[in-house]
A and B are shown apart, each in its own frame.
Chain A
Amino acid sequence: MAGSINVALICQQFVNALALGSIYAMIAVGLAMIYGVLRVLHIAHAGVYTAGAYLGLYFYKATGSLPAAVVGAMIVAGIFGVLIERFVYRPMLPKPRIVALIASIGLFICLSDVFRIVAGPYQLAFDVPSVAGAVNAAGVTVSGADFLIAGGTAAIFITLWFILQHTPMGFAIRAVAQNIETAKIMGIDVNRSVQGVFFIGSAVAAFGGVMVGILYNAIYTNMGDTVGYKGLALIVIGGFGSMSGAVLAAFLLGGAETVLTAYSDIPLSRDGMAMLMLVILILFRPQGLLGRE
């Protein structure tokens, strides 16, 4: 009897870890793509993620349909990302790297204030009746939101893989990520590729934001903060600019965070522990999980 409970508990933790890892992966993949093409630490990505969650809620209330809300949030957030690139990062590219970093921080601070002013300082509920139920099998509870996240993440990553590997746009993006000057010489429209990256990255982050809002049934102004910082650490661990590395690191972090929170008594908060692991990993593998020496 005790054995079966244990197995159920482990399965439950596995489900939790998978959901958490998916969320991290969705924010890290955008950051990794953006770092790959522009070499910018896009701290304001956390703001885009939160914006996605608010937009999703807004569209859901306006249309009443979840798919419409998700797609709407992704498109608007994607356009928002493109605008950030066009009006904030592009003029700063020839300047020292710290300039774009500070601007990103400024943007991030001002975005969280914008959310507070527009949507109010209080936590908003994201009630979606169609996914509210939960499947309970052999002691493992899998909520509808978990299914949604797992399915959504799979769909997003398959689409992303297809776009990057099999479309001219993806080809251009990969070329720009490898070497911006050479890509330019080869006749690739660098600006359009970079905008594509920002559109895709921001849209995926918005998807993640909506999913987190549904999973925890809560949207608040600084929900993106810690996820965003962890995302930055994840792209370092994944090996800068390596998307697969970032995704791998995201799932590892999701797993490790769940396990350590459940089975250890290190006197650190969940986020502190995750950050400690990330710091240690960066120290011992500075080139990243999948990076080469």
Chain B
Amino acid sequence: MLNAYVITILSLMGIWSVVALGLHVITGLAGQFNLGVGVYMGTGAYTSAMLTTAAGFTFWEALPFSLVASALMGLLTGCPALRVREDSLAVLSIGLVFVFESLLVYLPYFGGPVGINHIPRAMLGGEPVGNWGYLAIIAGALAVAIAVCLYLRRSWMGLIWESIRENELAAQVLGLHPARFKLYAFTIGAALSGLGGVLYAHFIRYVTPYDFGFLPSVYVLAMVVFGGLGTVRGAVFGACFLTLLPEMFRFVQDYRNLIFGVTLVLLMLYEPRGALGDGSYVWRMLSAAWMQLRAVFGNGRPYASNP
């Protein structure tokens, strides 16, 4: 039986998956370290929240503006990536997320430390959607995000990102323009994370600056790496699992962060490619099982045993 609690958990899993997919584009595909995804998520959430509360827009009218706003934020914060890289970039993104959070807290325009509340529900067919309807909207957004990521991976852009990620100098020698494609990655990734932020804002229905600070950003990075950096299934699995983990350990309420931290350290020690990343134990087993299955329904022989 699906009660409200289960729907809430499922919705949160979907929302964090969308946010994680945004970071997957920036860090997983294009290889740019980012510990500040909260900036993009927050831009999307705050734009939508302000447009729907102060300007009287509906959820659907505000959505394109929010996506454009977070994409522009991605473009803006992507510019430093043209000048600094790797660890400097990671540290820089930490700095940016603090500046962002601090701006939201101190500019009264954004509602200050208490943020914005009374964010309206999404409307569909003239009436507010219920929990089920919103879950369906989240599922739709997640499907779109997954499709975009899968398409990007196979497109020319995805290949160029891969070459930049693996060896920027070599990509440059091949006549590719790393700066341009890094900016594309930041813009697209930020728009996806912003989409997650919009969904979050209209799900929780109030936003505070602290929802998009450093720790949430780090959680998203942890999700992407946990599932397996560079894979869509990894980002989604990581987001779902790490959202579920605190719920599973609700009986040890007091030790949730402890368990979270220990899980991350242990996974990095024993399975650094992520739980479902390419070449990880679970994924190798799953691939092998899939091959067996195909063989059973195919010509009756596993491909591997062909001479």
Residues of A whose CB lies within 8 Å of any CB of B are 35, 39, 41, 88, 91-92, 95-103, 105-114, 117, 226, 229, 232-233, 236, 240, 267-269, 271-273, 275-276, 278-279, 282-283, 286
Query: Taking CB as reference atom, which chain B residue is nearest A40?
Result: B87
* Contact A99–B268 (Cβ < 8 Å): yes
* Contact B229–A98 (Cβ < 8 Å): yes
CA distance A269 to B106 in the complex (A): 7
* Contact B94–A108 (Cβ < 8 Å): no
CA distance A103 to B261 in the complex (A): 8
CA distance A108 to B84 in the complex (A): 25
Residues of chain A contacted by B254 (CB below 8 angstroms): 117
Query: Which 4 pairs between the two chains have the least Cβ-Cβ distance?
Result: A272-B102, A110-B261, A106-B264, A109-B261
B6 contacts the other chain (CB 8 A)? no
* Contact A41–B90 (Cβ < 8 Å): yes
Binary flags per residue of B91-118, CB closer than 8 Å to A gives 1, else 0: 1101110110111011100000000000
Interface centre among B99, B225, B269 (most CB of A within 10 A): B99
Residues of chain B contacted by A108 (CB below 8 angstroms): 261
Known: A233-B94, A269-B105. A98 touches B83 (CB 8 A): no
Instruction: A99-B268, A102-B222, A272-B102 are known; give 13 further A-B pairs, CB within 8 A.
Output: A41-B91, A101-B90, A102-B226, A105-B221, A105-B264, A109-B261, A226-B98, A236-B92, A240-B87, A268-B102, A268-B106, A269-B106, A273-B102
B218 contacts the other chain (CB 8 A)? yes
Interface residues on B, range: 35 or more
Binary flags per residue of B69-100, CB closer than 8 Å to A gives 1, else 0: 00000000000100110111011101110110
Known: A106-B261, A107-B265, A229-B214. A286 touches B84 (CB 8 A): yes
CA distance A272 to B107 in the complex (A): 12
* Contact A229–B87 (Cβ < 8 Å): no
Binary flags per residue of B242-282, CB closer than 8 Å to A gives 1, else 0: 00000000000011111011111100110010000000000
Min Cβ gap A145→B in Å is: 27
CA distance A41 to B80 in the complex (A): 19
Min Cβ gap A95→B in Å is: 5
* Contact B264–A103 (Cβ < 8 Å): yes
Residues of chain B contacted by A39 (CB below 8 angstroms): 87
Q: Which of A110, A117, A268 contacts B103 (CB 8 A)?
A: A268
Residues of B whose CB lies within 8 Å of any CB of A are 27, 33, 80, 83-84, 86-88, 90-92, 94-96, 98-99, 101-103, 105-107, 214, 218, 221-222, 225-226, 229, 254-258, 260-265, 268-269, 272
CA distance A96 to B279 in the complex (A): 14
* Contact B268–A233 (Cβ < 8 Å): no
Residues of chain B contacted by A233 (CB below 8 angstroms): 91-92, 94-95
Residues of chain B contacted by A275 (CB below 8 angstroms): 94-96, 98-99, 102
Min Cβ gap B263→A in Å is: 7
Min Cβ gap A49→B in Å is: 17
* Contact B272–A92 (Cβ < 8 Å): yes
Query: Taking CB as reference atom, which chain B residue is nearest A276?
Result: B99
Query: Taking CB as reference atom, which chain A residue is nearest B27?
Result: A98
Known: A233-B94, A268-B99. A286 touches B257 (CB 8 A): no
Min Cβ gap A141→B in Å is: 29
Min Cβ gap B96→A in Å is: 6
Min Cβ gap A283→B in Å is: 6
* Contact B261–A107 (Cβ < 8 Å): yes
Residues of chain B contacted by A109 (CB below 8 angstroms): 218, 257, 260-261, 264
Known: A88-B265, A106-B264. A267 touches B107 (CB 8 A): yes
Known: A95-B272, A232-B94, A236-B91. A110 touches B102 (CB 8 A): no
* Contact B105–A282 (Cβ < 8 Å): no
Known: A95-B272, A286-B83. A113 touches B106 (CB 8 A): no
Query: Can you name 27 A-B pairs with beta carbons within 8 Å?
Result: A39-B87, A88-B265, A96-B272, A97-B86, A99-B268, A99-B272, A103-B264, A106-B262, A110-B260, A110-B264, A113-B256, A113-B257, A226-B98, A229-B95, A229-B98, A233-B95, A236-B91, A268-B106, A272-B106, A273-B102, A275-B94, A275-B95, A276-B99, A276-B102, A279-B80, A279-B99, A283-B80
CA distance A232 to B226 in the complex (A): 23
CA distance A65 to B104 in the complex (A): 45
Residues of chain A contacted by B264 (CB below 8 angstroms): 102-103, 105-106, 109-110
Residues of chain A contacted by B80 (CB below 8 angstroms): 279, 282-283
Min Cβ gap B92→A in Å is: 5
CA distance A95 to B261 in the complex (A): 19
Residues of chain B contacted by A283 (CB below 8 angstroms): 80, 83-84, 92
Min Cβ gap A57→B in Å is: 21
Q: Which of B84, B218, B260 contacts A282 (CB 8 A)?
A: B84
Min Cβ gap B162→A in Å is: 15
Residues of chain B contacted by A95 (CB below 8 angstroms): 272
